[in-house]
Chains A and B, each alone.
Chain A
Amino acid sequence: NAGVTQTPKFRVLKTGQSMTLLCAQDMNHEYMYWYRQDPGMGLRLIHYSVGEGTTAKGEVPDGYNVSRLKKQNFLLGLESAAPSQTSVYFCASSSGPLRAETQYFGPGTRLLVL
Chain B
Amino acid sequence: GEDVEQSLFLSVREGDSSVINCTYTDSSSTYLYWYKQEPGAGLQLLTYIFSNMDMKQDQRLTVLLNKKDKHLSLRIADTQTGDSAIYFCAEKASGGSYIPTFGRGTSLIVHP
Contact = CB atoms under 8 A, between A and B. Distances in A.
Interface in B69-112: 88, 92, 94, 96, 98-100, 102-105
B100 A103 contact: yes
Interface string B38-68: 0011111100101000000000000000000
Contacts of B30: 99
Interface residues of A, number: 27
Contacts of A33: 99
Contacts, number: 52
Nearest to A4: B42
A58 B99 contact: yes
Nearest to B93: A99
B102 A42 contact: yes
B8 interface: yes
Secondary structure dominating the interface of A: loop
Contact of A45 (B41, B50, B99): B99
Contact of A100 (B31, B42, B102): B31
Nearest to B29: A99
A43 B88 contact: yes
Interface of B: 8, 30-31, 33, 40-45, 48, 50, 88, 92, 94, 96, 98-100, 102-105
Interface of A: 4, 31, 33, 40-43, 45, 48, 50, 58, 90, 92, 94, 96-108
